[in-house]
Amino acid sequence: MKYKSGLVLIALIAFILMAHSANAIDICFSASDGGGNSVSIWDSYQVDDSVEVSGKASASFNDLGMKDSRIITGYGGVTAVQRYTGSGGYIGRSCFETDNASIQMASNANLNSDSFQASQNAIFEGEYGLLNIEATDPDGNWAATEVEAFDGRTESRMIASTRNSAEVTQDTESEGSETYLETLTYNPVGYSATTYNWVFDGEILFSGKGHADGEGAEACQKSYAQGSDVGSETDGFYYDPRTDWQPGDDYIQAYSHVSDGYLNSESCVRTDGDGSATWQNLVAEGGVIDIQSESKEFHPGVPGFVRDEEHSSVSLYANPATGNTKTVFQGMTTASMGSSTEANLDGVLEGEFSCEANANDDKTPDYNDDGKFKIQMRAETDDDYADAFIRITGL
């Protein structure tokens, strides 16, 4: 359907999808002002007979724009994909998918020729559900966020938008056998930032944000999760084609994992022209706690020859102390790379633990102890310097 003048209101989607629910349905709405500006929305649906979809779209032409809203309800399986484009060069996409689940989903989109904003609000309970939204601005900056859940109940709200950048947000509460949450960002120069969270046999309360623009890429998350297996990870990758002939080597990572317990975490990662950096604040309690922080950088070199490598990492692995049933950690990890690499861990631990710090070839001996301690670990490198140390203080 294409409209070139007047104000158009479409309210027939519900009837079309209910009448042909066993088949895939593709619908396109587009509008143009006749002066080279245009907007479009593509819908693709495949739904079970017990699922209903209704929606409406309107277009205005004096100040070219389009608004769209949808509601999906029922029980069963759904695959609903919506794509957004404007003549200014942006691209957006949202996806909602379920299998053997009760469904309540509402979405809204507001498009202009040079920018858009779209949202999805969903509650699904059952065997499987996935909610995803993403945005690409005219310069190629990209951001996406997603939740995927199995055998449980999930309530989530997501927003994607472009205006001189690409941005996404997610707020989710989920419980079930498995839940995965991810926010990804990318700058076309070669900068990326990602957060990744998971919980098995438990629940999570999560808030995340991703942003990419001409300067860099950033992703942040704040979450509380408890279950049989809980984790949080941040990653940053840096690749500058002007100086690096082999992509994917320069990276940072902060990783935290708890078994049979809880993890309360807040973290951010940013990658830009100066390199990449991340921090993660943690409160963890459980049977086993595993925390790692790492950064790696290769200096520019001539293709075909090995480049100099700088690598820093710290790691901590802990079990319950003698006579206890749980391990407890509260502290912070950081990692960075740019002109140098660095990895740090500072915190208070109660448990039986081992830890190690590594800066290139300067590697500390494994340290093992049992009790309650203040732990400080550092690993740092640059062109002509490498140092790693561990400081343990009994409490």
Q: pLDDT digit string (tens) for 340-391?
A: 899 999 999 999 999 999 998 777 777 888 889 999 999 999 877 889 999 9
- Per the structure, the complete domain to which residue 6 belongs is given by 2-394
pLDDT for 16 equals 45
Residue 296 has pLDDT above 90, yes or no: no
Mean pLDDT of 45-70: 91
What global pTM score does this model have?
A: 0.91
Q: pLDDT digit string (tens) for 243-268?
A: 554 545 688 999 999 999 999 999 99
- Total domain count, the chain: 1
Distance CA 282, CA 264 (A): 6
As a whole number of Å, the end-to-end CA separation of the chain is: 71
